[in-house]
Chain A
Amino acid sequence: KAGVTQTPRYLIKTRGQQVTLSCSPISGHRSVSWYQQTPGQGLQFLFEYFSETQRNKGNFPGRFSGRQFSNSRSEMNVSTLELGDSALYLCASSLADSRQETQYFGPGTRLLVL
């Protein structure tokens, strides 16, 4: 079974631009979560989607948004990029609602904002 895939793997943007990151979960997984990882702040939760609905959200400004499609694929968008948005963005998927379910992570998209 293929793992979680994220595209693109690397991205360079300039301040003020917007960016869209894509995540394809493991087949059959309906929950997709997004995280931002930086050396200073560690791993921070952005949001989670389940069956096309956002059901958890972290403390990020409205510039960060996401969506999930009917095939469970998810996209994350960041508008009006700032230098501080440079980070590794990780996507994770899990099978269902159960608290026992494991999250499986993709390799991440490394975003550099100049």
Chain B
Amino acid sequence: GDSVTQMEGPVTLSEEAFLTINCTYTATGYPSLFWYVQYPGEGLQLLLKATKADDKGSNKGFEATYRKETTSFHLEKGSVQVSDSAVYFCALRSTDSWGKFQFGAGTQVVVTP
């Protein structure tokens, strides 16, 4: 079945550092890929998405490129802020099973001043 694997956390960074969170997936067909972010005490919010190979999703300084050849969708941000401290989830939406979503385990990011 479809699955998503993302790097374990916590990832601890200093403010203005470069952030990368690795995400790889296994899926049949051509899934859509998503990054969600969850701040403490809240639900998940969509951060960005890409629906086909080589698409780049971007939002709030975050970027991720849909790489079909490496089945990856790594999240990057050039200069993180304390307010970026959250849990980040990589997800895919299958082309079968009525478009069921599959989420990774989540990566906690802690940004220190």
Quick check: B46 and A97 within 8 Å, CB to CB?
no
Q: Which of these, B36, B44, B95, contacts A99 with CB under 8 Å?
A: B95
Chain A binding surface, main DSSP class: strand
Quick check: A104 and B32 within 8 Å, CB to CB?
no
What size tier do the contact residues of chain B reach?
Answer: 20 to 34
B98's nearest neighbour on chain A, judged by CB, is: A55
Most buried by B among A35, A43, A102: A43
Quick check: B100 and A56 within 8 Å, CB to CB?
yes
Total CB contacts across the A-B interface at under 8 A: 57
Task: Return chain B residues, CB-CB under 8 Å to A43.
Answer: 89, 103, 105-106
The CA of A37 and the CA of B28, in the complex, are separated in Å by 26
Q: Say whether B99 faces chain A, with CB atoms less than 8 Å apart.
A: yes
Q: Say whether B72 faces chain A, with CB atoms less than 8 Å apart.
A: no
Which 3 pairs, one residue from A and one from B, show the smallest C-beta to C-beta distance? A105-B43, A105-B44, A100-B51
> What is B's interface to A at a CB cutoff of 8 Å?
31-32, 34, 36, 42-46, 49, 51, 89, 93-95, 97-103, 105-106
